[in-house]
Chains A and B, each alone.
Chain A
Amino acid sequence: MSVPEPMIVFDGVEKRFGSNVVLHDLSFTVSPGEHVTLIGPSGSGKTTILRLLMTLEKVDEGTISVGGRYLSHQDKGGTLVPADERYSREVRKRIGMVFQQFNLFPNMTVRGNLIEGPTRVLGLSRDEANTRAADLLELVGLSDKIDAHPTQLSGGQQQRVAIARALAMHPDVLLLDEVTSALDPELVAGVLALLRDLGETTDITFLCVTHEMGFARDFSHRVMMFDGGRVIEDAAPEQLFTAPEHERTKSFLQAVLDH
């Protein structure tokens, strides 16, 4: 049996903010199509990992690669040098991200948000991009909102458009950072149902930070528990949620469940 080449590789990654080391010598891999959920207390470095992948932050030590290509480094004649903007934009095209605060462009309609990347980055014609936008809106159940402005939508609707916007780029990897944390409780279920659906119908690789333990449990193939910038437990959800090995994982899960 051949082992597929990993989609994401973190190799000895260290990230510092000033003198504050937030990720320590972090190494892990994610397989193509795998759904990995990151859990752990606030400040443990989960968001930083996603931001490094999106090149919103720079690594201080180590390397990250996506789909077999270095993200923040370029191989120039056998030596690794920091990647330039054009190169990292090329690699980054394969990665999409959905944010806690949606971050839709308020100066554009829903349609404008959805065709922006496909027309400006992927080089689709307007017609092709419009067709793709209409299909995606149907998928997220918002076909009637195509000409609405983001401010006219509820939080849940905005987040579903944001997911559609990321999908419009046909990403190999989708990063989800607490995408339901800013939503009113009654809107959370709709967004999670959409994500479950995507998990089943696409072969996208998901890296997901969430406090929704029920969702983490049935969406993930693997859960990584973070604490203080280190992975302290990395296991299948059935294992991690029912029989956690570490005391720290137990108390964290207890605290989340009590909440």
Chain B
Amino acid sequence: MPLWDWSYAFSILPDLLLALVTTIEITVLGSVVALLLGLVIAVLRRARIPVLDQVLWAFVELVRSTPLLVQVFFLFFALPRFGIELSAFVIGVLALGVHYATYTSEVYRAGIDAVPQGQWEAATALSLPRSRVWTGVVLPQAIPRVLPALGNYVISMFKEVPLLLAIGVVEVVNEARELGSETFRYVEPYTIAGVLFLLLSYPASLLVRRLERRRVSA
């Protein structure tokens, strides 16, 4: 048996590409959850509302100090007990999104803290309503600064999607595993899976780096 069989490799490529679409879907949807929820957490925490602030702090610490895999299993097995029946795909999106939201919330916080105090004061001096201070003054200055950091978390999330094979989501690595188990040839499917990740995450990280450089020179 040769180490690498090209015709076999080409024959499994379509199935792997199809599974890659699932991986990308989960990444995109998970990113939407992470970017929005993280922003909500960061803005709420800045308001320092008693009790809510402690609850959010505890939640963020809890999520960040436990493995993502444990959270995935927890949602997968615990939610049905509360009568919430979700597909493995949706649970994967939620688990990744919430997990990464705790990281993006810290990124947003750093961006918000970097907006000079004078900007808040000028907004107060104009009597702008609170909501407009956020949407018109603070966030438009805070978010561009942290786009590279947010982009890096999206790339990390993309590479963590295969974790969801633990609950049966058919993403690229799970597909590779299944293809391999049919033919007992594992080298080709796993290699192709790895190459597919590389082909997407490397250009993405170059893009993030360019974004970083533009921030520095601006």
Q: Which chain A residues have a beta carbon within 8 Å of chain B's beta carbons?
A: 54-56, 85, 89, 92-93, 95-97, 99, 101, 103-108, 116-117, 120-121, 165-166, 169
Seed contacts A54-B121, A85-B130; 19 additional CB < 8 Å A-B pairs: A56-B125, A92-B124, A99-B125, A104-B122, A105-B122, A105-B123, A107-B137, A107-B141, A116-B126, A116-B136, A117-B127, A117-B128, A120-B128, A120-B132, A120-B136, A121-B126, A121-B128, A166-B125, A169-B126
Instruction: Write out the residue numbers on chain B whose beta carbons fall within 8 Å of the beta carbon of A121.
Output: 126-129
Contact A54 B132 (CB under 8 A): no
Contact count A vs B, C-beta below 8 Å = 59
Interface majority SS (helix, strand, loop, mixed), chain A: loop
Residues of A within 8 A of B125 (CB): 54, 56, 92, 95-97, 99, 166
Query: B70-128: which residues lie under 8 A (CB-CB) from chain A?
Result: 116, 118-119, 121-128
Of all chain A residues, the one with the shortest Cβ separation from B136 is A116
Chain B interface residue count, Cβ-Cβ cutoff 8 angstroms: 18
A101: nearest residue on chain B (CB-CB)? B118
Q: A160 to nearest B CB, angstroms? A: 15
Partner among A54, A105, A120, A169 whose Cβ is within 8 Å of the Cβ of B124: A54
Enumerate chain B residues within 8 angstroms of A166, measured Cβ to Cβ: 125
Contact B119 A105 (CB under 8 A): yes
State whether A165 touches B124 (Cβ < 8 A): no
Residue B194 at the chain A interface, CB threshold 8 Å: no
* In the complex with contacts A105-B137, A107-B137, A120-B136, A93-B127 CB distance below 8 A: yes
Q: A106-B141, A107-B137, A107-B141 are in contact. Are A116 and B118 (CB under 8 A)?
A: no
CB-defined A-B contacts under 8 Å, sample of 28: A54-B121, A54-B124, A54-B125, A55-B124, A56-B124, A56-B125, A85-B130, A92-B124, A92-B127, A97-B121, A99-B125, A103-B116, A103-B121, A104-B122, A105-B122, A105-B123, A105-B141, A107-B140, A107-B141, A116-B126, A116-B136, A117-B126, A117-B127, A120-B132, A121-B126, A121-B127, A121-B128, A169-B126
Minimum CB–CB distance from A198 to chain B (whole Å) comes to 17
Of chain B, the residue at the smallest CB distance from A118 is: B126
Q: When chains A and B are docked, how far (Å) is the Cα of A193 from the Cα of B70? A: 68
Q: Is the interface of B mostly helix, strand, loop or mixed?
A: helix
User: 7 closest A-B pairs (Cβ-Cβ)?
Assistant: A103-B122, A117-B126, A103-B118, A97-B125, A107-B140, A93-B127, A121-B127
Q: Are A99 and B124 in contact (CB under 8 A)?
A: no
Contacts of B129 in A (CB 8 A): 89, 120-121
Q: A116-B136, A120-B132 are in contact. Are A103 and B119 (CB under 8 A)?
A: yes
Q: Which residues of A contact B136 (CB under 8 A)?
A: 105, 108, 116, 120
A46 CB to nearest B CB, Å: 16
Q: CB-nearest residue of chain B relative to A162?
A: B122
- Bound CA span A93–B125, Å: 8
Chain A residues in 8 Å Cβ range of B121: 54, 56, 97, 99, 103
Complex alpha-carbon distance, A55 and B124, angstroms: 8
Contacts of A85 in B (CB 8 A): 130
Alpha-carbon separation in the docked complex, A166 to B121 (Å): 13
What is the CA–CA distance of A106 and B119 in the complex, to the nearest angstrom?
9
Determine the chain A residues whose CB is within 8 A of the CB of B132 once the complex forms.
120
By beta carbon, the residue of chain A nearest B139 is A107
Q: Please, how many angstroms separate the alpha-carbon atoms of A54 and B141 in the complex?
A: 23
**Cα distance, A166 to B129, chains bound together (Å):** 16
Complex alpha-carbon distance, A170 and B123, angstroms: 16
Collect the chain B residues with CB atoms within 8 Å of residue A89's CB: 127, 129
